Structure 1
Amino acid sequence: MACPPAIATLTRLLVALSLSFALLVRPAIAQQILRDAETEALFNDISAPIVNAAKMDPRNVQVLLINDKEINAFVAGGQYIWMHSGLITAADNVNQVQGVIAHELGHIEGGHIIRSSEGMKTATGITLLSLVLGAAAIAAGGGEAGMGIMAAGQQAAMGKYLAFSRNQESSADLAGARYLSGAGISGRGSLEFFKKLQNQEYRLAIPQDDSYGRTHPLSGERIAVLTDVYEKDPAWTKPVDSLLTQKFARVKAKLTGFVSDPAQTLQTYPERDQSIPAHYARAYAWHKSAYPDKALQEVDALLAAEPDDPYFLELKGQVLLESGRPVDAIAPLRTAVAKSGNQPLIAALLGHALIASEDSRNFDEAERVLRNAVARDRENPFAWYQLGVVYQQRGDIPRAALATAERYAMQGQDALALRSADAAMQGLKEGTTDWLRAQDIAMVSRAAIEGQGRKRR
């Protein structure tokens, strides 16, 4: 049966409105997550004092990296801060990144992800009222007047939501300034980064006279407010920690080498630059270009400067392993694991090398290393995959299925997680720790599948 014109118009506008709000608040976490031991250690070092100043527990706050060239960061529920790789490569110094972290912590403290539904509720109420009035006008024969009421209502609703979003951003700016002050960290980097964003707005020809119609205040508006706040703070003239500066230069260089086009990396870090960051960037660029010998030359230059550095040893093992030399990769990776205090991401790479050696004598060590890795960091699909391979090679099919279930559950593949967990339970002794873990995964996965089914109905 065909809908009356007024009702059809009403339906289309409701759908359009719901989609527009979904685009505004949907977290962009579909990009590839980049896990790197050195980068995550740096994030912990630079965020811990700010997290403490925000009265949060550093053990509960995680700063994670995603592969996205946009200069952006966001929170998407819980106490997780997502940093785009483009933000790190665009930042000039570690203090700028600290300013971004402080701002995002302001969103977490303010509960802005949860409260965004308040802004949507208000805006939706305005829209629904205008749609009802507009539909009534159309039904009474005033077609143009009715459409005008609907359009005006939708514009007012969107304006209401955008104003709500801008208020949240301004609140997070001031909260971030308070955290930096409490941590004794200068706000210079925060202002520098906003000026960087302002330059981007200039290049995109974004009008600078009015922030109406935007989810964020204009960078110029934010700079004006924060300059007065930061310049009065006792930490304004405090220099940046030199050790953190060195660590950031290394991480930025390796990230540039990993995510950028190799030719661009070699332009940014030319051969005449013999600094540690330059060797680091070129090692990744050459490895990415499939020139393992040149990559190893750069890694050896790094190790000549700092022979016990676990991250340089990790990179040597990675280049050897991914160049088809897993046996040669084992020694540097073993040392890297020892020097890093059994860092789980590095341990997972060692486990991979031990398995890839195809020497059954290495499987006991691989199992031990990988079990230790997942015990310290369960959120590591790669480690669970490698552990499953070890169990499969040794004929322990139930535990291979359990490791696979862990990996699928972590990746949100509920149907596959349920299937693997059920298979594991069939072969494991009931009541054991592994059997109970498989049962937990099965229950959670089944509930998730049933919940998705209810949503579709």
Structure 2
Amino acid sequence: MPVVSTPATAQRGKLSLVRDAETEDLLKSYAAPIFKVAGIGNSPVEIILVNDKSFNAFVPDSRRMFINVGVVMEAETPGEVTGVIAHETGHIAGRHLVRLRSAAANAQIMSVIGMILGAGAMAAGTAAGSAGAASGGAAAILGAGSVGQRSFLSYQRGEEAAADRAALKYLNATGQSAKGMLKTFERFAEQQMFSARFADPYAMSHPMARDRYRQLASSAQKSKYFNTPAPRALQQRHDMVRAKLLAYTSHPNAVARAYPRSDRSMPARYARAIAATKSRRRDAIKQIDALIREQPNNPYFYEVKGQALLESGNPKAAIAPFRKAVSLRPNEGQFLIWLGYALVGSNNPAVLPEAESVLKKGLQRDANSSVGYSQLAIAHARQGERPEADLATAKGLMVAGDFGAAKRYAARAQKNLKRGTPAWLQADDIVSYKPPQLKRR
């Protein structure tokens, strides 16, 4: 299932992340043309999933975009998600956050999460217009009186309007409709309907949703692409991911209501198969195998099957489906890490060298997987490679944001590694690492 992690640096802010190759691949498909026309296609922007069902997204710096799983789950069409990505891209391309605060460009991803808990509240809802959280975050960073705070928020409202205009430009340049983006603002306008009467627009960091909708609607509807729907194949991928996320994040009863047995569509069967694996039902593998027979080249079905077998306590049987997933998408780091996990879990000493090799390849492609590092540490330890195991553990703790524990393991590894070797230098980097500090304005 999607891996959910709550790093030590994020626990205080209750920010946890979701890792799922299928969802991440879909979001990359949405973002790639937007990034290209915005001129940031050559500067990798990482899209990070947040384990939150609310419809929200934010960018803390020019290199990362955080999107709640709720954005995908609530969006009925790809255009609604693409609109959010286009808006956030407007902030990145416009260098809004560079002007607002100093970005920690070289920080570890979890370190950045810890740093942006306040800034994230400020930036959260750039698509959603989350007024309360936004003003609270800005106040925490500024530490200023109401006059200074209002001046800052007014500046931010201007950036929001600029990001909206940029989003329309990107969508039109890529031949996509802004109808989904307008639908998002309609949703927020309805949510604000009862609170708008009492809200002070000058104390909000985002324009009122209804105002933003009116400003955008006229321009959006003039585009020749306004009534152009998303390609059918993309809509199908979107529907599959929505079903998957609902199944993994909701009670099986909720899945049954959303996708009753009378619904024989592929997304519905996907959701029910995943719900069956979560409930440990005997027919779960049978349901997944039925999906595989219909789409034998879908790597994500094999991933789900492997995960189901792992969770049922049968890692040896999980090896084959994970191998198939890797054969279909050999460069997917998460698939490689799952395969390594199954190999380690099989308790077969003969496959430990392969497990080590596979996990290292996976971590080269997905360096932010704490699961990958923990399994690599086990593989090293079982082969009697204690210093290497300590170093892998230290790297995993760095990813998780537990810098103190990471330094302790790295120091222990360093004592038993040959001075000047790549492994020794990596351990030394961790021992000497200093988390970046958020600059107060």
Normalised-by-shorter TM-score class:
0.7 to 0.9
How many percent of aligned residue pairs carry the same amino acid?
36
State the 1:102 CA deviation: 0.3
RMSD over aligned Cα, in angstroms? 2.4
State the 1:329 CA deviation: 0.9
**1:279·1:301 contact (CA, 8 Å) conserved in 2?**
no
Amino acid at match of 1:82: F
Report the 3-state secondary structure (helix = DSSP H, G, I; strand = E; otherwise coil) of the residue aligned with 1:82.
strand
Alignment pair present for 1:241 and 2:225: no
State the 1:295 CA deviation: 2.4
Relative distance call for 1:209 and 1:389 in structure 2 (3 A) is closer
1:355 maps to what in 2? Answer: 344
Range 210-219 or range 337-346, more displaced:
210-219
Alignment pair present for 1:100 and 2:84: yes
What is the rounded CA distance, in whole Å, between the counterparts of 2:220 and 2:174 in structure 1? 13
Report the 3-state secondary structure (helix = DSSP H, G, I; strand = E; otherwise coil) of the residue aligned with 1:234.
coil
Match of 1:250 among 236, 240, 252: 240
Alignment pair present for 1:186 and 2:168: no
What is the rounded CA distance, in whole Å, between the counterparts of 1:281 and 1:206 in structure 2? 37
Amino acid at match of 1:405: A
State the 1:326 CA deviation: 1.1
- Residues 22-421 of structure 1 mapped to structure 2, 5 A cutoff: 30-57=14-41, 60-117=44-101, 154-202=145-193, 204-207=194-197, 211-291=201-281, 293-421=282-410
What is the rounded CA distance, in whole Å, between the counterparts of 2:357 and 2:146 in structure 1? 61
What is the rounded CA distance, in whole Å, between the counterparts of 1:117 and 1:352 in structure 2? 40
What is the rounded CA distance, in whole Å, between the counterparts of 1:376 and 1:59 in structure 2? 17
Report the 3-state secondary structure (helix = DSSP H, G, I; strand = E; otherwise coil) of the residue aligned with 2:187.
helix
Query: Which blocks of at least 5 consecutive residues in structure 2 are unaligned?
Result: 1-9, 103-143
Structure with greater helix share of residues: 1
**2:62·2:98 contact (CA, 8 Å) conserved in 1?**
no
Report the 3-state secondary structure (helix = DSSP H, G, I; strand = E; otherwise coil) of the residue aligned with 1:65.
strand
Report the 3-state secondary structure (helix = DSSP H, G, I; strand = E; otherwise coil) of the residue aligned with 1:236.
coil
Query: Which blocks of at least 5 consecutive residues in structure 1 are unaligned?
Result: 1-25, 119-152
Report the 3-state secondary structure (helix = DSSP H, G, I; strand = E; otherwise coil) of the residue aligned with 2:58.
strand
What is the rounded CA distance, in whole Å, between the counterparts of 1:286 and 1:253 in structure 2? 13
Report the 3-state secondary structure (helix = DSSP H, G, I; strand = E; otherwise coil) of the residue aligned with 2:201.
coil
State the 1:233 CA deviation: 2.2
Report the 3-state secondary structure (helix = DSSP H, G, I; strand = E; otherwise coil) of the residue aligned with 1:212.
helix
**1:208·1:220 contact (CA, 8 Å) conserved in 2?**
no
What is the rounded CA distance, in whole Å, between the counterparts of 2:348 and 2:331 in structure 1? 23
Matched pairs, number: 389
TM-score by length of 1: 0.80
What is the rounded CA distance, in whole Å, between the counterparts of 1:294 and 1:85 in structure 2? 28
Report the 3-state secondary structure (helix = DSSP H, G, I; strand = E; otherwise coil) of the residue aligned with 2:297.
coil
Larger radius of gyration: 1
State the 1:91 CA deviation: 0.7
State the 1:76 CA deviation: 1.1
Amino acid at match of 2:192: E
Amino acid at match of 1:406: K
Report the 3-state secondary structure (helix = DSSP H, G, I; strand = E; otherwise coil) of the residue aligned with 1:166.
helix
What is the rounded CA distance, in whole Å, between the counterparts of 1:254 and 1:413 in structure 2? 30
TM-score by length of 2: 0.83
What is the rounded CA distance, in whole Å, between the counterparts of 2:101 and 2:63 in structure 1? 18
State the 1:58 CA deviation: 5.5
State the 1:47 CA deviation: 0.5
2:432 maps to what in 1? Answer: 443
What is the rounded CA distance, in whole Å, between the counterparts of 2:364 and 2:168 in structure 1? 37
